[in-house]
Amino acid sequence: MELDQAREVLLRLACGDALGRPVKFATASEIAAEHGRLDEMVGNGTWNQPAGTITDDTEQAL
């Protein structure tokens, strides 16, 4: 069971990281102006990457 829990934590980390990557370094008002409520994977953003791309934060955790 512990291995399954660890996998789940890493999966949730990666999903949250990929969701936030396109708006990294943006203020809340900038995010709201461009996306409204960001609740799906979007592409481009700070480093012009496709939707669902993780950052080095997830890579380091893995």
Instruction: Lowest mean pLDDT of 1-10, 11-20, 29-38, 45-54, name the range.
Output: 45-54
Query: Of 36, 41, 35, which is closest to residue 14 (Cα–Cα)?
Result: 41
Q: Is the pLDDT of residue 58 over 90?
A: yes
**1-10, long-range: CB < 8 A, 24+ apart:** 10/61, 10/62
Cβ atoms 19, 60 nearer than 8 A? no
Taking phi first (over 0 means left), then psi (-120 to 50 degrees means alpha), and beta for anything else, what does residue 55 get? beta
pLDDT in tens, 1-14: 799 999 999 999 99
- Structure tokens of 62? 């893995």
Cα angle for residues 47, 56, 41 (degrees, 5° grid)? 55
Q: Name the pTM for this structure.
A: 0.80
